[in-house]
Amino acid sequence: MSDGKTHDRIGLFFGIVFAVIIFLLIEVILGISFAAGWLLSLFVFSPDTDLMPKKRTGILAFVLYPYSILFKHRGVSHSLLLGTLSRVIYIFITLIIIIFVLSKMGYVEFNFSNFWMASQQFIVGFSWDRPIYRIIIAFYGGMFGADTVHIMLDMWSSFVKKLKRDVL
């Protein structure tokens, strides 16, 4: 298994390369959105969030700590298909809970049925022509890309260690 610094260096390298390609060849705002998603997943909300909610997240640790209890290391968090999605769903549900609690305390106004209807309309109204959808997809793509590099690096590292163990 690779250490955190190796993940950071290799992740930054690939993130910069992919973001610059998107920035230059596709669209500037999508390159920025992709880079933001990549950096979030690389440094704050990675497949190793279950191991290090306290290391890098500062004040966000209290939000991410339950994730480390719910998802064990190298489980769903390290799944190519479900890892990024599980973290996005987790943070979405956590934000809804925080907003709900703040609304009950009288700090924000929140109506769950209005929120639910707006969410459904947003999903049903998907159109690639609308910039917000492209930005969200680029952001998620950045998160997914960083997670993929992370998981592939873990797999490579495990393979090399096993090969060394079997050969020596």
Per-residue model confidence as pLDDT tens digits over 109-161? 878 778 888 888 999 999 989 999 999 999 999 999 999 998 888 888 888 88
d(CA 139, CA 30): 8
| pLDDT of residue 57 exceeding 80 | no
Cα dist from 119 to 90, 96, 116, 164, whole Å: 16, 12, 5, 51
What is the structure's pLDDT at 50?
65
Residue 168 has pLDDT above 70, yes or no: no
Phi, psi of 7 (to 5 degrees): -60, -45
Q: Is the pLDDT of residue 59 over 80?
A: no
Q: What is the pTM of this model?
A: 0.84
